[in-house]
Amino acid sequence: MARLVSVVVIGAGLSGLAAACHLVGRGHEVTLVERHDAPGGRGLRLHRDGFTFDTGPTVMTMPDLVGDALAAAGTSLQDALPMRLLDPAYRARFDDGSQIMVRHGVEAMREEIAATCGSVDAAAFVDFADWLRKLYRVEMPHFIDANFDSPLDLASSPRAAARLLRLGGFRRLGPVIREWFRDERLHRLFSFQALYAGLSPESALALYAVITYMDSIEGVWWPEGGMDAVPAALATAAGKAGAELRFGTSVTRLVLDRRGVVAGVELDSGERLRADAVVCTLDLPTAYDQLLPELKPPRVVRSGTYSPSAVVWHVGASGAPAPGTAHHNIHFGADWDGAFRALIDDRRLMPDPSRLVTVPTLSEPGLAPEGDSVLYVLEPVPNLSSSIDWTHEREPMRERLHGFLTANGYPDRILTEELVTPLEWQQMGMHQGTPFALAHTFLQTGPFRPGNLDRRVPGLVFAGSGTVPGVGVPMVLVSGKLAADRVDAYLPGPRPRPQADRGRR
């Protein structure tokens, strides 16, 4: 039997946890090292004054990708991470006071559009949903869940690329959505997801409508206990399958042998862990700065276009929101195009911002004292490449958000709070103060995005939003699996039967 191959995973965010689950399930000897005292990465849970805040992603889509990682470690999604579907997935509220609920299921959403936008757009939605599904079926196996070594790898799937071209995936998202629907509110509802990719709908490729498919068609889910339950379940599964989890410990440098090949890591305690391979989930510029200071980062890492950032206000408030408030609420500003020009082109605050308000206590009342609410308020803002001085802008931003809560029926008597600006994101190790990494421009997408290997350091593999396939909960989960695939390719040979499978036969 071949010896166990040792792998160190740096970081217990979703990409690192997914990588650890896949690796330990394939028979590798895995040690996961995390500087915080619990799993979660940038979504670490915060407890304050009786309130519980999930500080990372709030929208859970594509739970089967979590299920894949859990299953790799011998745990089922149903047993480890019970979830319930949120219906509506979102409440969309517009500047004229109207609203549209994003309902689950094509027929339910068709009826919602018929009631709010008319029969023509309702009929169009049925075909639109079918188009989204076709996009997803082409993109996921060929362009998302795939490792690339160079742009020439696109030629390995010529039929898929041709199909994506026929579907209009290389056109611009905004114009494509306008061709599907008459009502301007639907243009916004089905294209705002471009912002997840760090772009405006007018510049994002239509292939990013796959994000719309993930939440508007497949649905948005709520894990019992809150979003923190996702990293907690993955960490538990990895540990049960045999991975060693080392919390409250930081990696200070990579240990390389005389050939420049990965040989392990050194911890802040001075201890060295031997490893045949290392999976690093730090934001790429931070990874090169802290762990590879002698190497010049790839050009796109140094000088690529980084996504806008976000101000996130975590609020513990007295009382409940107005009737009709949903778990997720998107408030669209009036000047849609002008807001994107300000944010992305001019790198200034949106003059008429759109905002997301998540109220997790509507689904999980135990996150707050009885009768009170947890609010997650997000406004997109420029990253730190702008001229905004957040030491001075912080309080005016808070006051504007407070006024927004009051005007829109949310509880506004603040009992506890935490305001996160681009400065705080930067302090967490995120380049240019954005948690969304490199924008998904054409030349920063797929094989053009920074790869998860640096050939100068054999045995080092990257995972997370800065590398392939990109930003968002589904993408970083896939990123962890792709990193595990890279480790397997780097260390070929027979594997012992995965620990998670032993005793089943």
Q: Can you spell out the DSSP letters for 332-367?
A: --S-HHHHHIIIIIS-S--SS--EEEE-GGGT-GGG
Residues ≥6 apart with Cβ < 8 Å to 41: 11, 12, 13, 14, 16, 34, 56, 231, 281
- pLDDT (0 to 100) of residue 491: 82
CATH at residue 453: 3.50.50.60
For residues 407 and 462, membership in a common domain is answered with: no
pLDDT, tens digit, 9 for 90 and up, residues 78-104: 999 999 999 999 999 999 999 999 999
Mean pLDDT of all residues in 400-417: 98
Which strands make up the sheet holding 309-318, listed edge to edge? Answer: 99-102, 90-93, 328-331, 355-358, 373-381, 309-318, 413-420
For residues 72 and 132, membership in a common domain is answered with: no
Q: How many helices (H) and strands (E) does the chain have?
A: 16, 20
Residue 290 structural domain: 6-43+62-79+227-303+437-501
Q: Is residue 53 part of a domain?
A: no
191 CB burial (10 A radius; 0-12, 13-18, 19+): buried
Q: Is residue 98 part of a domain?
A: no
For residues 390 and 441, membership in a common domain is answered with: no
387 pLDDT more than 70: yes
For residues 255 and 163, membership in a common domain is answered with: no
Q: Pick from 411, 432, 453: which residue ends a domain? A: 432
- pLDDT (0 to 100) of residue 156: 79
- pLDDT (0 to 100) of residue 444: 95
Mean pLDDT of all residues in 1-20: 87
Q: Would you tell me how many other CB atoms lie within 10 Å of the CB of residue 62? A: 23
For residues 426 and 349, membership in a common domain is answered with: yes
On whether the CB atoms of residues 80 and 500 are closer than 8 A, the answer is no
Element (H, E) at 107: helix 106-116
Q: Pick from 373, 401, 432: which residue ends a domain? A: 432
What is the distance, to the nearest Å, from the Cα of residue 339 to the centroid of all Cα atoms in its chain? 23
For residues 314 and 344, membership in a common domain is answered with: yes
Q: Is residue 17 part of a domain?
A: yes
CA atoms within 13 A on the CB side of 191: 27
Q: Is residue 25 part of a domain?
A: yes
pLDDT, tens digit, 9 for 90 and up, residues 305-362: 999 999 999 999 999 999 999 999 999 999 999 999 999 999 999 999 999 999 999 9
- pLDDT (0 to 100) of residue 26: 95
Gap between the Cα atoms of 153 and 157, Å rounded: 8
For residues 151 and 266, membership in a common domain is answered with: no
Q: Is residue 54 part of a domain?
A: no
pLDDT bucket at 150, cuts 50 / 70 / 90: confident
Q: Is residue 52 part of a domain?
A: no
pLDDT, tens digit, 9 for 90 and up, residues 152-198: 887 778 999 999 999 999 999 999 999 999 999 999 999 999 999 99
Q: Is residue 85 part of a domain?
A: no
- Identify which of 495, 463, 474 has the alpha carbon closest to the alpha carbon of residue 147: 463
- Identify which of 231, 186, 176, 226 has the alpha carbon closest to the alpha carbon of residue 206: 176
For residues 74 and 171, membership in a common domain is answered with: no
Angle between helix axes 229-240 and 14-25 (nearest 10 degrees) is 20
CB pairs under 8 A, 24+ apart, for 102-111?
Answer: 102/189, 102/215, 102/216, 104/219, 106/217, 109/216
* Number of structural domains in the chain: 3
- pLDDT (0 to 100) of residue 155: 75
- pLDDT (0 to 100) of residue 4: 60
The token pair at 162 is: 């041709």
Q: Is the dihedral of CA 280, 261, 486, 297 positive or negative?
A: positive
For residues 232 and 253, membership in a common domain is answered with: yes
- pLDDT (0 to 100) of residue 492: 67
pLDDT, tens digit, 9 for 90 and up, residues 17-45: 999 999 999 999 999 999 999 999 988 99
281 pLDDT more than 80: yes
Q: Is the dihedral of CA 76, 77, 78, 79 positive or negative?
A: positive
Q: Pick from 432, 458, 478: which residue ends a domain? A: 432
For residues 287 and 336, membership in a common domain is answered with: no
pLDDT bucket at 1, cuts 50 / 70 / 90: very low
Give the largest CA-CA distance in the chain: 69
Which strands make up the sheet holding 262-267, listed edge to edge? Answer: 251-256, 262-267, 272-274
For residues 119 and 137, membership in a common domain is answered with: yes
On whether the CB atoms of residues 132 and 209 are closer than 8 A, the answer is yes
**418 phi, psi to nearest 5 deg:** -150, 120
Distances in Å between the alpha carbon of 183 and those of 29, 101, 177, 483?
Answer: 55, 15, 10, 42
CA atoms within 13 A on the CB side of 289: 10
Q: Is residue 455 part of a domain?
A: yes
For residues 335 and 322, membership in a common domain is answered with: yes
